[in-house]
Amino acid sequence: MRIAVAGSTGLIGTALVSALRSGGHEVVPLVRPTTTATSGGNTWDPDAGTIDARALEGCDGVVNLAGRSVGERRWTEAEKGLIRSSRVGSTTLLATTIAGLERPPSVLINASAIGIYGDRGEERLTEDAPPGEGFFPDVCVAWEAAASAAAQAGVRVVNLRTGIVLSPEGGALGRMMAPFGPSWLSPYRWGLGGWIGSGRQFWSWISLEDEVRAIAHLLGSGLSGPVNLTSPELVRNKAFMKAVGRALRRPILLPIPRFVLDVVLGSQLAQASLFDSQAVLPERLLADGFEFRHRNLDEALSIAFGS
């Protein structure tokens, strides 16, 4: 297959491109002008609304993982605007471009997030669950809707509702492990970390390997619409952080009070990324025959941290 990948230099994109190429597929990276020299990809500029449509012509599939990092900066009004526009704008550009091709791909796999569900407490969340309320659920709804032009043109569209991807190199786990910047400053690596608040909130996770394997599976699947990319194992935050401690061979003994995280991250980002409870189940992925390689959190974290 010939697969175009937007967001190909990010955490998931880098791993996906490597896996696809190892599987014998041809990968067409779509990269911003500032990264073209190092990645050798095809230039697109979502901010300017420009893309070379020829790079997509004749592709079998397109995977869009583009979007500004959610957890690296405080959620000021300006930052929230950039988070939204980087997702909705890039998806709109890709979807409308795909819809106008003479030989469009058969599938567009578009990133989304379990943040669409908001803070849901004890509720078990399958793909049939309605969106939650708040800034990021609203962003995710608009993000998924932005792919509608491709769907209306007959392209199968899949929305990846991804949970916490287990890698210390980036994403939500990487930010949590190093809230002050350098990884060596991580309180967890010094035995000073703890669970978040009460620790009762559900954290839905997936290993980086299973994330990539699920995307590859969906490229050849018949599924369309939302698909939850999370492990079937439901874990509360306290158990999650205890498992992090075991993987790092460091004690996890006390909770981290909310006010500390509000000061470090800002209250809105802290709520959405750390305190929201989302017990998400990958119902459609399992029903489609996908087999998770990493269902056990301890095993997955040990692999992630190389312990």
Alpha helices in the chain (DSSP H): 11-22, 36-39, 77-99, 135-145, 148-152, 171-177, 208-219, 237-248, 258-265, 267-270, 283-287, 297-305
Q: What does the pLDDT read at residue 81?
A: 96
CA gap 175, 273 in Å, rounded: 10
Name the pTM for this structure: 0.92
Q: What does the pLDDT read at residue 171?
A: 63
CA gap 16, 63 in Å, rounded: 10
Q: What does the pLDDT read at residue 137?
A: 97
Tokens of 303: 């692999």
Q: What does the pLDDT read at residue 177?
A: 64
Cβ distance 66 to 7 under 8 Å? yes
Q: Which homologous superfamily does the CATH classification assign to the domain defined by 2-305?
A: NAD(P)-binding Rossmann-like Domain (3.40.50.720)
> Is the dihedral angle over the CA atoms 172, 174, 178, 180 positive or is it negative?
negative
Q: What does the pLDDT read at residue 34?
A: 72
Residue partners of 112: CB distance under 8 A and separation at least 6: 140, 143, 144, 159, 160, 161, 162, 226
Q: What does the pLDDT read at residue 32?
A: 83
pLDDT (tens place) for every residue of the chain, 307 residues total: 999 999 998 899 999 999 999 999 999 999 887 764 445 568 898 888 899 899 999 999 999 999 998 888 899 999 999 999 999 999 999 999 999 999 999 999 999 999 999 999 999 999 999 999 999 999 999 999 999 999 999 999 999 999 999 986 766 676 666 655 555 456 776 677 789 999 999 999 999 999 999 999 999 999 999 999 999 999 999 999 999 999 988 888 889 999 988 988 899 999 999 999 999 999 999 999 999 999 999 999 999 888 6
